[in-house]
Amino acid sequence: MRTKIILTALAICALTGFALEPGETELEHNGWYRYTNQSSALKLTDPTVSRFSLERGYLRFSHQWVPAFFTKMTVDIFSSDKYPEGATVRLKEAYADLSLPFVRDFNFTAGLQKHYFGLIYSWDYTHPEKELADEQGICASADYGLTVNGYLPSGLGELQLGIYNGEGYKYAGKYVNTSPEFLGNIRLTPFAGVALGFSVFTNSADAAHYKNDKKGRITEAGNIFYMNADTANTSRLALAPSLKLAFGPFSILGEYLGYSYTRKFSYYQINHDTSGNIVDSTLVQKQKDYQMTGLDLVPMITLAGRKIEVFGRFSMWNRREQSGDSMSLNKDKSFVRYGAGANYHFVRREKGKPGLIFQFAWTRTQPKNSELKPTDVLLAQVRFEWSTVITKLSL
Amino acid sequence: MKKTVSILAMLSTIILGAEVIVKGSDTMLNLTQRLAEAYSNVQPDVTVSISGGGSGVGINAIINREVDIANASRRIKSKEISAARANGVDPTEIVIALDGLSVIVNNKNPIKQLTVQQIGAIYRGEITNWNQVGGPNKKIVLYGRQPNSGTFVFFREEVVKGEYSSAMRQMNGNAQIVEGVKADEGGIGYVGLGYIKNVEGIKPLAVAKKVGENYISPTDEARVRSGDYPLTRPLYQYTNGRPKGIVREFILFELSPAGQKIVEEEGFVPVTQNYIERNNSILQE
């Protein structure tokens, strides 16, 4: 027979977690400290990879200039094995956002921004590894572009239409070609517990990676030099229907991926004599079609007042390559992956965002070539994320 | 079957005790506290926990399943509905009272009435002296809420219709605005109707939609109820789906004659017939 009425006016937390007001700046930091153990068939004491890394070290600065104009910049300071210093800095986001006049809840965004494809932009790393399209290089999670993006009325969902470079945020300047990528993405939330999505992008050419890595490479066989010329993935087309179901503590997130392109490549065939003098040369041009399909599923249950998340993961990837007039499965590069893990949230930030989490996950990837051994990856990660709003002073 | 479920719910309430968690609007904080106190006399086994933080805080809490009821002095946004649905939450709206958002000035200020356009121009920083609206030669000092507040959002959309002046002092709550204006002869603020009742040192202004139309005081309950007062707004509560069990019981109490009497005592206006009908369609079993 007791009644307890608790009154707590939470004025102190009043400034956190909302769209910024004019003159306000938000500073955010994400630090993901990870241990990775990768081995064949769970040889934990004899792994092929055993490393600690700062997987993500975001520093994010957002500023609301006026109600209709907002800018954001994110740099990622992360561990890297590529440099002797053991770390590097990468620009991850840098964009300006302008509210569209006469169209409620819609913005025009320009710059290095989210790439709204499939589950990439809503992937919150409940599973600490990357989403499949991102991992398999269908596209990057961010890219330079122009988008119109916003929310449909009555909570029906959201829509994004964009033109991007198509090369992703890792390539800029001379590595970016002139053919734009066109992207459309819709996410519908017709009723509680169901989110249906569909994304598509097309790009006539993406050459950055190959220009960067392979152009000019020379190999020799007998009396012939082969020198790589231009290589490009052309006629790129990707689509991704996606689904999220959420009922009480249970949810499942899934997407199907379809991706195809034609790789056009050319090389100089240079004939030389026994003294190495060039006799003649020919430019040889070839092309080959590729088709990929994938499936990514993450079922999850939240427990203990959302402190604990237990999740599974099932992924499938099929890579088909042109062989003569037919497409055949590249079994070495196709796989089935399954795994499980758990997260413990010590602290959550506003809007239910992660504050301090411990994450643990295991996945086994089995190539479709049964002669190849499966790869086991064990991840343990401490992830902390915080943000603060610097408010203009009242005088 | 239905009877069995009800009996089980009743037993669990008696054995375990039961709690209704409410969070959100600062404007509705005192009101829901009073309602919870009164409800405790009717249902002493039920704990009602109430906290503020602003409408945005409450709505985020219902989206993330942290509370049973979100108090909001503004309507839920399309973006928030979409986020809730994707999270398996069905935000369901009940109106528990009406508010005549009141524009207040210091008692010593001779100004008695303003149009919505004039108030908007004052808060945008375009009018900076009371003599520009027929008052004394005195600098206007703006008092307002913080961005998480539903009142801040409502006032911006309905009155300011643009950017708040950077000179506006952002206060934590309605009570702080009242205190600020009370102590400042040049002050102007906006607060929920419930915060001007029996308060000395300030006065609410009569407001007209535009020049040439009638000036109406927010204390004119009939005009607030009819929607003639330009800054009439509903006060909402959001639940995840149709309220059930003790949450439904608590809301039914809020909407009962006893609950609506408290609404009046707290200076707000009881819900009108159109809202009663809408609420009933949601609350029927």
Whole-angstrom distance, CA of residue B137 vs CA of residue B147 = 31
Distance between CA atoms of B264 and A136, rounded to whole angstroms? 62
Write the burial class of residue A227 (CB in 10 Å: 0-12 exposed, 13-18 middle, 19+ buried). Answer: middle
Q: What is the CA radius of gyration of chain B?
A: 20
Q: Cα separation of B155 and B124, whole Å?
A: 12
pLDDT at A75: 96
Query: Is B82 an interface residue toward A (CB < 8 Å)?
Result: yes
DSSP string, A271-321: EE-TTS-EEEEEEEEEEEEEEEEEEEEEEEEEETTTTEEEEEEEEEEEEEE
Chain A, window 159-188: residues with a beta carbon less than 8 angstroms from a chain B beta carbon? 187
Mean pLDDT, range A225-247, rounded to an integer: 89
pLDDT tens digits, one per residue of A307-350: 999 999 999 999 999 998 899 999 999 999 999 999 999 998 87
The lowest-confidence range among A132-136, A238-242, B168-172 is: B168-172
Coil, helix or strand for B132?
Answer: helix
Separation between Cα atoms, residue A177 and residue B139, nearest integer Å: 59
DSSP at A175: G
Q: How far apart are CA B278 and CA B193, in angstroms?
A: 23
Cα(first)–Cα(last) distance of chain A, in Å?
49
Q: Is A99 left (phi over 0), alpha (psi -120 to 50) or beta?
A: beta
- How high does pLDDT run on average in chain A? 87
Of B40, B82, B166, the CB nearest to A23: B166
Q: How far apart are CA A67 and CA B70, in angstroms?
A: 26
The structural domains of chain B, ordered by start, are 2-99+234-283 (3.40.190.10), 102-226 (3.40.190.10)
b/e string for B183-213 if b means 16 or more Cβ within 10 A? ebbbbbbbbbbbbbeebeebbbbbbbbeeee
Report chain B residues whose CB lies below 8 A from the CB of A22: 163-164, 166
Ordered mean pLDDT values, 10 residues apiece, chain B (285 residues):
50 64 93 95 92 91 94 94 95 95 95 96 96 94 88 91 88 91 95 87 94 92 90 95 95 96 92 94 88
Please say whether the beta carbons of B194 and B30 come within 8 A: yes
Distance from the Cα of B79 to chain A's closest Cα (Å) equals 6
Instruction: Report whether A17 contacts A349 (CB < 8 A).
Output: yes
ipTM of the complex: 0.82
Residues 353 to 372 of A: which have CB under 8 A from any B CB? Answer: none
> Contacts of residue A394 in chain B, CB cutoff 8 Å?
168-170
| pLDDT of the residue at A346 | 94
pLDDT at A232: 80
CA angle B29, B30, B31 (to 5 degrees): 90
Q: Which helix (H) or strand (E) holds B33?
A: helix B29-42
B197-256 residues touching A, CB cutoff 8 A: 240-241
- Check residue A107 and give its pLDDT: 96
- Chain B residue with minimum CA distance to A351: B60
Q: What is the pLDDT of residue A212?
A: 55
B177 touches chain A (CB under 8 A): no
State how far residue A352 is from chain B, nearest Cα, in angstroms. 6
Q: Is residue A2 scored above 70 in pLDDT?
A: no
Yes or no, beta carbons of A350 and B26 under 8 Å apart: no
Count Cα atoms within 13 angstroms, Cβ side, for A269. 9
pLDDT value at A234 more than 90? no
Residue carrying the six token digits 């990775």: A36
Whether the CB-CB separation of A376 and A363 falls below 8 Å is answered with: yes
Q: CA A187 to CA A175: how far, in whole Å?
A: 32
The pLDDT of residue A13 is 33
What residues 57-86 of chain A have any CB closer than 8 A to a CB of chain B?
A: 66-67
Which among B45, B52, B64 has CB closest to A9? Answer: B52
Tokens of A153: 């009325």
Among B78, B195, B240, most A C-beta atoms within 10 A, so best to mutate, is B78
Residues A108, A184: Cα–Cα separation, whole Å: 14
Q: How far is residue B270's CA from residue A363's CA, in Å, rounded to a whole number?
A: 58
SS3 state of residue A211: helix
A155/B contact by beta carbon, under 8 A? yes
**Chain A: residue whose CA lies nearest to B14:** A1
Query: Closest approach of chain B CAs to the CA of A251, in angstroms?
Result: 8
CA distance, residue B184 to nearest chain A CA (Å): 14
Using a CB–CB cutoff of 8 Å, tell me whether B157 touches chain A.
no
CA-to-CA distance for B149 and A15, rounded, in angstroms?
A: 10
User: How far does B56 lie from chain A, in Å, by closest CA?
Assistant: 8
| Residue numbers of A between 229 and 268 with CB closer than 8 Å to B | 244-248, 251
Give pLDDT tens digits for A302-313: 998 889 999 999
pLDDT given for residue B2 in this prediction: 47
Q: CB of B262 within 8 Å of any CB in chain A?
A: no
Nearest to B97 by CA among B277, B265, B235: B235
Give A85's contacts (C-beta < 8 A, 6+ positions apart): none
Alpha-carbon gap, residue A171 to A160, rounded angstroms: 23
Amino acid at site B34: R
Residues of B in contact with A392 (CB under 8 A): 166
Question: What pLDDT is attached to residue B269?
Answer: 92
Which residues 21-40 of B have a C-beta within 8 angstroms of A?
Answer: 26, 29, 33, 36-37, 40
Compute the distance between CA of residue A53 and CA of residue A81 in angstroms, rounded to an integer: 9
Q: Which A residues 286-345 touch B at CB under 8 Å? A: 306
User: Cβ separation of B26 and A9 shorter than 8 Å?
Assistant: yes
Q: Which domains does chain A have, with CATH numbers?
A: 20-390 (2.40.160.10)
The pLDDT of residue A177 is: 76
Neighbour-count burial for B100-123, b at 16+ CB within 10 Å, e otherwise: bbbbbbbeebebebbbbebbbbbb
pLDDT tens, position by position, A14-51: 333 346 777 789 999 999 999 999 998 778 788 888 88
